[in-house]
Amino acid sequence: MLDYLKDEPQNVCVIGDCMVSPDTIEEAVRASAVNAASVVKLAWFPRTPQEFAEHQLNIERNGAEAEPIAEGLLKAVADATVIVDHLSPIPRRVIEGAPSLRAILTSRGGLEHIDIAAATERGIPVINVIRNAIPVAEFALGLIISVTRNIANSHAALKTGVWQKKFSNQEYVTTLDTMLIGLIGLGNVGIELAWRLKALGVNLIAYEPYPDRERLKHNGLDDLELVGSVEEVFSRADVVSLHVRLTEENARSFDKRLFSLMKPSAYFVNTARGGLVNEGDLIDALSQHAIAGAALDVYDSEPLSSSSPLLSLDNVTITSHIAGQTVDAISRSPFLLMKEVDNILEQGKTERIVNYRNLKL
């Protein structure tokens, strides 16, 4: 599978940024089985992590055409056979301007920065890596416990000198093993969270339109109850946790229609994408105590405005989009990516070829 990457000399175009340097990506490529005959290194323009986060959010919401490409990229790809990227946009014009291109590799899970359709039309495999599934799954678990047991709320009160013993969800406080937790999405994060919850003795249901049953079985989740609709999860679960990608079709689709299905004792958790949720509808549900609470790490606009109503609600736990942040999640990502490429070359694994089903390889 993709043997040409190791059997034939490749002209590699590396695009780094302020979070993952071009030198680090080159090091990872040269340590892999890819036959990198030449490497051209470019840098995408954001200079600080704050600038990077702002441009990242725009790409995640608006796609590969939303931001400028790396300087010199069109010239560099004219002879490139492989692009190895972090977040620099790779829109259609870049792919069409690379007549020899045979693979696009990206050291992140999100794919909004790449025109997958354009690559697929050319028969070009796109390979990604899930660098932060475990950090996000652990964080989601932490938010679930925090919001249902008032850990963050008690901490905040005590920091202001208030010894608080009663909270807005007081009549619903219970332990995880008495709750039914519903997951929307069983991709990498959803599966990592699911088996952790199962290990804690939690009852689970999940909605996943394209379940990978072999993967579920491999993770000890072959008995996980899969339901037929998002609506069923919202109506049955005591906690609903989102783990899906943001697309044009599902943008702001988690709205008052779904929140109205939830039990008054239920909680909503989002560590996926802020754009999935109609934030105004969620704020209304929380303000009216139509649901017991929510825990959020992502928002419709980031950084969260100092005038956001979420800041004044007593039944929401909020964090600053840090679920995927660990000391090594980003810096190690090129090496994790190239390990996935080696797995493809040596073992024929296809899980990380995101457009595999639409290619003839």
321, 332, 340, 352: the catalytic one is 321
Q: For residue 304, what is the DSSP state?
A: P
φ, ψ of residue 51 in degrees (nearest 5): -60, -45
Token output for 214: 């072999």
Token output for 342: 């080696």
DSSP H or E stretch at residue 36: strand 36-43
The residue count for the chain: 361
Region of 220 (left: φ > 0; alpha: ψ -120 to 50; beta: rest) is left
On whether the CB atoms of residues 203 and 224 are closer than 8 A, the answer is no
Among 206, 244, 277, which Cα is nearest to 109's?
A: 244
Annotated active-site residue 302? The verdict is: yes
Q: Measure the CA–CA gap between 44 and 86, rounded to whole angstroms.
A: 9
- Which alpha helices (H) appear in 246-332, and where do they start and end? 256-259, 279-287
Burial class (CB in 10 A: 0-12, 13-18, 19+), 203: middle
Annotated active-site residue 273? The verdict is: yes
φ, ψ of residue 58 in degrees (nearest 5): -65, -40
27, 96, 302, 351: the catalytic one is 302
Q: Measure the CA–CA gap between 233 and 54, rounded to whole angstroms.
A: 33
273, 332, 340, 352: the catalytic one is 273
Q: Measure the CA–CA gap between 302 and 81, rounded to whole angstroms.
A: 36
Q: Which residues are catalytic?
A: 273, 302, 321
